[in-house]
Structure 1
Amino acid sequence: MRLPLIAPMLATPGNLPPAGQDARWAYETKQDGQRVVVYLPGDGGLELRARSGEVVTGAYPELLALGGALGRTPAVLDGEVVAPDERGRGDFQRLQSRMGLAHSPALAARRAEHTPVHLVLFDVMFLRSDLTALPYSRRRSQLEALALAGPYWSTPGAVVGHGAQALEVTRENGLEGLVCKRLDSVYEPGVRSRYWIKIRNVRAVDVIVGGWLPGQGRLSGLPGALLVGQRDAGRLCYVGRVGTGWTEAGRAALAELLRAVETRVCPFDRDPRVPGARWVLPRLVGEVRYSTRTRAGLLRQPSWLRLRPDLAPEDSAADLP
């Protein structure tokens, strides 16, 4: 059967729904992986398409067996491919070694042996017929009735109500966050909808500024990004670059502070080898927020919060993993 191509529905960043509306929403764990639409034509075949529409089936050979899971029933499913770490949490850095291999089947097969992926299924848009006009609650019931559970795929449950508790559980377990979905929401292909809300768990940490990268265009002469680190056993360890979070006035004020502490010597224990970097004496302390860390200790998605003139560089102890 020729299945309809369906672009994935997208969530809008936001906060938990008001407490008075809590019972009208379902809550799912936000996954840290690659979004895919799964096409099962009912002939034993399988096709995976990324959010861009690119066919990525070849990158994940361990998922091919899912093609026969529903027999002759044609279906289009929504999900996310993750690479679980030792605790079963999706690790995007691990997944990166699996992405981009759709046209390299031999290499994809070798990587699958060492870094297997898992497909998390959370919606069904087509099941013998188009389901996109049905409310989320009915689609979810039909998805769960399929009982799709296998060695490399599963259908985790969704919680109705209790949003605050669900979010706290994701934080306690170091998970990416939460996706809130209105029970009466239809599936809107390709739309970033307010009926789906995503909440990322972010963390804040003190960092020491060790360098900066000049901005371009309208930011010419101003810092485009800061190179930051944290103290660990007396060493200043590089933890990444921060390029967002300032107002125009904030960047200008920061530029003056950076010029006052310029140096030609890289202050980090190991030179991060960032082309165009300009170094500064490690005297400025700031606070940044971030989502997670890579296994190497780098901050993912960092954003500047504020300067911390109340902290001396030696006071900003590291929380490196």
Structure 2
Amino acid sequence: MQPAEGELPAGPGWAVELAWDGLRCIAYARPGRVRLLTTEGRPVTSAFPELAVLGDKAPRRGMILDGTVVAFDGAGIGHRRLLVRRTAAARPSSALVADVPVGFLVSDLLWLDGAPTVALPYARRRELVDGLGLAEMPVLLSTSWPADDPGVLQTAERFGVDALHAKRLDAAYRPGQRSRSWLRVTLQRTRQVVVGGWNPADPRRPESVGALLLGAPGPAGLRYVGRVGLGSGAVRRPVTELLGDLRADASPFTGALPPSVAHDAVWAVPRLVGRVRFPAWTADQRLRLPTWLGLVGPDEVDDALWEDGPDDGPYRGDSARPAADAGPGGPPGPAAPAAAPEVARRPGQAAAEAGRTAVRRLEQHFVYNSLSTIASLVRTDPARARELLLGFADLTRAADQPADAVTTLGDELAAVRAYLQLEQARFGSRLQVEVTVDPALHETPVTPLVVLNTVRAAVQQRIEPRPEGGTLRVTGEDTGTDCVITVTDDGPAGPVRLQVGAPAGPARAARTGVAGITL
């Protein structure tokens, strides 16, 4: 069955799922045997040997599932670029299987234990899928929301998914047909951008503006995020008139631009702000298929529309804010965003960063355990499953911050709580948690992951091996000169203390990085 393009429906009678970026397949499974076919009928069974577990979960007379093969990165985000590595090998090596793991996200059921299910309504088919107990990596259930649930859009943004699937609850499955009972809803994002130059429409006339070169401001400067065409003369004319007085001799962007963009680029003083619409970010952190919506005047700049970028967390955004005016010598018009003030590095941060380089992303076994835990709760406790899914998205974003980033203790503790909620869902009563930190300390600047990685090490190395489990405690103290975070449990090992917000001696500073912590 194929979806039709459409808008997100309003009102009851619809369910919505995330449209994951992967390879859609039909899985034919019976005990001891699995066959995977793409929607074009191409067999790909041998490319994904780990999905043979579907045969272990199949009833005696088999089942047919509709789903998507997704290749996950270390942060639990699906990437087609990774999937290409797997599909390129008809019979992947064990090393490739381990290096690029995949999951099969089940979204529908066509046949169950000797009987077709395609004539049943979607709501009933999902009930049957939920009852099969499939949710164990590498098999996942595609989470289904009511269409009017705001959580689905929030989750889509946090995971960088660029489309949704809306399905009528009372609709049958129609193999081989495209139906308005199943809609693909492409998500559109809007953000402000800074114009840092242009590619000429005619290389012989550098003043002719063909495509604008766009940037996103941030603490490190103006980051190139793509280019956009201007279309008609009525749209191009006001931009061209302003850019004529803003030509510059050097690129305003940090880092090198793609050669195809830079070779005939004309640079501009970055003072013009515009607005674009786009469906998603690409893997190399560019705007995908942007559409120019026009210039933004100084009194129209919206701070919220800086907050939409792949580096900063979807959607936490660049910390830059618009300047008050165009600056001396600049033409009247949209204000340029000022770069965010650089955050001073505290002693001890270099040691912390050295210790976290190798563990910046979440380990794959934790990602798999988390997704399996969430999937197992979809049927029995959907509200909690959604809460954990949103927390998992926040956690992956926290784990994927740039190496030179600085965050606050409050944000770091939010990531710690998200992690501990996931582990408590997995361990049950074996893991008790107490986090007691004065809110007055929450604005302390810290290196991301310093506290989180210490907490994770304590859970995995101290509490998990003990059959009875234990209680993990995280406390904070302002000593007058230091902000000290203490992580301990009720086992025989002593506490781990982290100085996270003030100068410290070499011995203490060395303990602020994961590699330097002794448990």
Shift of 1:146: 2.5
Shift of 1:294: 5.3
Letter in 1 for 2:52: L
The reply to whether residue 26 of structure 1 matches residue 26 of structure 2 is no
Aligned mate of 2:82, from 71, 74, 97: 97
The whole-number CA distance in structure 2 between the counterparts of 1:299 and 1:96 is 17
The whole-number CA distance in structure 2 between the counterparts of 1:291 and 1:137 is 29
* Counterpart contact for 1:120–1:153, Cα < 8 Å: yes
Alpha carbons of 1:32 and 1:206: their partners in 2 closer, same or farther (altered >3 Å)?
A: same
Question: What is the SS of the residue equivalent to 1:289?
Answer: strand
Partner residue, 1:80 = 68
The whole-number CA distance in structure 1 between the counterparts of 2:209 and 2:181 is 38
Shift of 1:104: 1.7
Shift of 1:274: 3.6
Partner residue, 1:167 = 152
The reply to whether residue 235 of structure 1 matches residue 221 of structure 2 is yes
The whole-number CA distance in structure 1 between the counterparts of 2:177 and 2:198 is 37
Letter in 1 for 2:15: A
Aligned mate of 1:126, from 101, 111, 117: 111
The reply to whether residue 148 of structure 1 matches residue 134 of structure 2 is yes
Greater shift, 269-278 or 118-127, is seen at: 269-278
The reply to whether residue 10 of structure 1 matches residue 33 of structure 2 is no
Question: What is the SS of the residue equivalent to 1:283?
Answer: strand
Question: What is the SS of the residue equivalent to 1:186?
Answer: coil
Shift of 1:152: 0.4
Letter in 2 for 1:91: G
Greater shift, 222-231 or 303-312, is seen at: 222-231
The whole-number CA distance in structure 2 between the counterparts of 1:14 and 1:306 is 24
The whole-number CA distance in structure 1 between the counterparts of 2:30 and 2:41 is 21
The whole-number CA distance in structure 1 between the counterparts of 2:276 and 2:89 is 39
Consecutive unaligned residues in structure 1, runs of 5 or more: 1-7
Q: How many residues end up aligned between the 2 structures?
A: 299
Report Cα offsets for 1:250-306 as digits up to 9, x if no partner. 246545555664556433222212415423303332122344545654334533332
Shift of 1:14: 0.8
Alpha carbons of 1:253 and 1:153: their partners in 2 closer, same or farther (altered >3 Å)?
A: same
The reply to whether residue 279 of structure 1 matches residue 272 of structure 2 is no
The whole-number CA distance in structure 1 between the counterparts of 2:97 and 2:150 is 35
The whole-number CA distance in structure 2 between the counterparts of 1:309 and 1:274 is 32
Structure with greater Cα Rg: 2
Identity of aligned residues (%): 32
* Counterpart contact for 1:76–1:124, Cα < 8 Å: yes
* Counterpart contact for 2:198–2:211, Cα < 8 Å: yes
Alpha carbons of 1:246 and 1:151: their partners in 2 closer, same or farther (altered >3 Å)?
A: same
The whole-number CA distance in structure 2 between the counterparts of 1:57 and 1:255 is 54
Shift of 1:123: 0.5
Question: What is the SS of the residue equivalent to 1:99?
Answer: helix
Question: What is the SS of the residue equivalent to 1:179?
Answer: strand
The whole-number CA distance in structure 2 between the counterparts of 1:305 and 1:260 is 22
Partner residue, 2:35 = 47
Letter in 1 for 2:55: G
The whole-number CA distance in structure 1 between the counterparts of 2:108 and 2:173 is 9
Shift of 1:173: 4.5
Partner residue, 1:312 = 335
Question: What is the SS of the residue equivalent to 2:275?
Answer: strand
Partner residue, 1:197 = 183
Consecutive unaligned residues in structure 2, runs of 5 or more: 299-333, 342-400, 403-519
Shift of 1:184: 1.6
Shift of 1:70: 0.8
Provide the TM-score with structure 2 as the length reference.
0.49
Question: What is the SS of the residue equivalent to 1:146?
Answer: coil
* Counterpart contact for 1:263–1:280, Cα < 8 Å: yes
* Structure with a larger share of its residues in helix: 2
